[in-house]
C-alpha cells in the first residue's frame, strides 16, 4: 500500500524535466500528500497538461463517494479484471506525478516511516487510473457536485523496498510514462506494471510526523537516525 508521497519541485522545473504541458496556476511544493487530497495528474498524452484530481477512486457507478477512501490503491495483479478498475484500465489511465514516496516498516506495534526517491530526487510518475463520478441524487451527501478521482497502482516490492514493505507503487520513468497513456494493448499495458529494477531507489528513515496528514514542510523528508 502507498498512502503518502511528495511533489516538492517547482512547477517549471517539473514541466521541463518530464516534458509536460500546462501546469496548474496554484502549484506549490508538497511534502506529505495524503488520500482524499488533490494530486497532480496527467490524463491525456495529447496535451500532457497537469490537472488536479482527488486521490481515492470513485467509479462512475458508485452510489456514494465515500467508497473513494477504500480505493486509494489498485493492485497491478488484478487491475484489468476487477470490476472496480477494469473500465478505467481500458479507457481512463493517468499519470500521478511525484518525486518521492513514504512506506512504513512494521515491527510489532511500532511503524517506522521511510522515504524513497530516485537518484538525485528526479521526478517520476505513478501509474494511475481515474474516473468521473456524477451525483445523481443517491449520495448520502445531497448537493455534492461531481468528482474526478484517481487511484495509484501498486505491485510487489523490489529489493530496495522489500526490507520496509512488501508492496510498492508502480513507478514510470520519463522513458516509459507516456506508453501508459498511449498504448491500447492490454498485454503491453500490463507489462508496464512491474517493480523498478533493484538498485533504482534510495531510502532513509524520516520523522514520524509524516503519520499526520496535517504535517507539512521540508523537514519531513530529512534523514533521521535509525531507531
Catalytic machinery residues: 2, 103
Three state DSSP letters for the chain: CCCCEEECCCHHHHHHHHCCCCCCCCCCCEEEECCCCEEEEECCCCCCCCEEEEECCCCCCCCCHHHHHHCCEEECCCCCCCCCCHHHHHHCEEEEEECEEEEEEEECCEEEEEEEEEHHHCCEEEEEEEEEECCCCCCCCCCCCCEEEEEEEEEECCCCCCCCCCEEECEECCCCHHHHHHCCCHHHHHHCCCCCCCCCEEEEECCHHHHCCCCCCHHHHCCCCCC
Residue 31 corresponds to which cell in the numbers above?
A: 511534502
Measured in whole angstroms, the distance separating CA 134 from the mean position of its chain's CA atoms is 23
Least Cα distance to 97 among 40, 152, 178 occurs for 40
Q: What backbone phi and psi angles, to 5 degrees, belong to 157? A: -75, 145
Amino acid at each position: 500500500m502507498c498512502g503518502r508521497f511528495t511533489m516538492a519541485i517547482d512547477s517549471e522545473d517539473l514541466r521541463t524535466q518530464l516534458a509536460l504541458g500546462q501546469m496548474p496556476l496554484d502549484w506549490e511544493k508538497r511534502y506529505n500528500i495524503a488520500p482524499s487530497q488533490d494530486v497532480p495528474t496527467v490524463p491525456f498524452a495529447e496535451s500532457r497538461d497537469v490537472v488536479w484530481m482527488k486521490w481515492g477512486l470513485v467509479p462512475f457507478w458508485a452510489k456514494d463517494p465515500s467508497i473513494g477512501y477504500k480505493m486509494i490503491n489498485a493492485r497491478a495483479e488484478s487491475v484489468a479484471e476487477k470490476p472496480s478498475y477494469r473500465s478505467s484500465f481500458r479507457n481512463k489511465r493517468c499519470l500521478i506525478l511525484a518525486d518521492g514516496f513514504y512506506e512504513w516498516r512494521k515491527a510489532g506495534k511500532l511503524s517506522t516511516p521511510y522515504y524513497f526517491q530516485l537518484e538525485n530526487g528526479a521526478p517520476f510518475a505513478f501509474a494511475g487510473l481515474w474516473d468521473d463520478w456524477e451525483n445523481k441524487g443517491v449520495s448520502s451527501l445531497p448537493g455534492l457536485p461531481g468528482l474526478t478521482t484517481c487511484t495509484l497502482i501498486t505491485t510487489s516490492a523490489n529489493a530496495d523496498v522489500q526490507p520496509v514493505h512488501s508492496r510498492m507503487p508502480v513507478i514510470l520513468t520519463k522513458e516509459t510514462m507516456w506508453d501508459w497513456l498511449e498504448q491500447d494493448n492490454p498485454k503491453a499495458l500490463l507489462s508496464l506494471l512491474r517493480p523498478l529494477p533493484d538498485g533504482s531507489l534510495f531510502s532513509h528513515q524520516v520523522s514520524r510526523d509524516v503519520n499526520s496528514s496535517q504535517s507539512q514542510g521540508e523537514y519531513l523528508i530529512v534523514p533521521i537516525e535509525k531507531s
